[in-house]
Structures are given as structure tokens and as C-alpha cells.
Amino acid sequence: MDIKAEINWIHKEIDKVKDPSFVEKLKHLLQSINNTAVDTDSAYNIDINNALDDISKGNIYNEDEAREIAKKWGRK
């Protein structure tokens, strides 16, 4: 595995992201990886609160949309 090539690919993909909630989640992920002292309970609660906020704003997917999104998460 060429780690430099992988990092460059990740940079390019991140540059395409337009979803602020995704950016926030990615930021949190990177912070938790780089800081083992992150309080996981607090992080879990933040994720739940963010999800509830999205739901209250109507940012939801129906079952078919969710399945299509989940397919993109699989291995290529």
C-alpha cells in the first residue's frame, strides 16, 4: 500500500464534500483518532443530538434511499 497515494486520494475526496454535517463528523473522527483521551460517552451523545437535530429539520431518508446510500459504503 502506498500510504502517500492513499492520503492524496483522501484529500481529493474531502475537497469534493459539500455536506457540513459530514465535515463535522469527519473532524470528530480525526480528533478521536489523534486523541485517545476523547470521552466516548460525550462523543456518542453529541452524535445522537446531531442525529435528532437532523431529524427535526427533516433531513431524513426513506428506506430505499438509505439502502442506496449504504450500498456505496461497501467495498469496491
pLDDT of residue 25: 87
Domain-embedded: residue 22:
yes
Domain-embedded: residue 2:
no
pLDDT of residue 53: 92
Domain-embedded: residue 5:
no
Domain-embedded: residue 58:
yes
The grid cell for 43 is 462523543
Number of domains present in the structure of the chain: 1
Cell numbers 439502502 correspond to: 67
pLDDT of residue 71: 86
Domain-embedded: residue 7:
no
Domain containing 43 equals: 12-73
pLDDT of residue 36: 58
Domain-embedded: residue 39:
yes
Domain-embedded: residue 62:
yes
pLDDT of residue 34: 67
Cell numbers 480525526 correspond to: 30
Give the mean pLDDT per block of 10 residues along the chain (76 residues). 91 91 86 67 85 92 90 72
* CA 21 from centre of chain: 8
Cell numbers 426513506 correspond to: 62
Does pTM top 0.85 for this prediction?
Answer: no
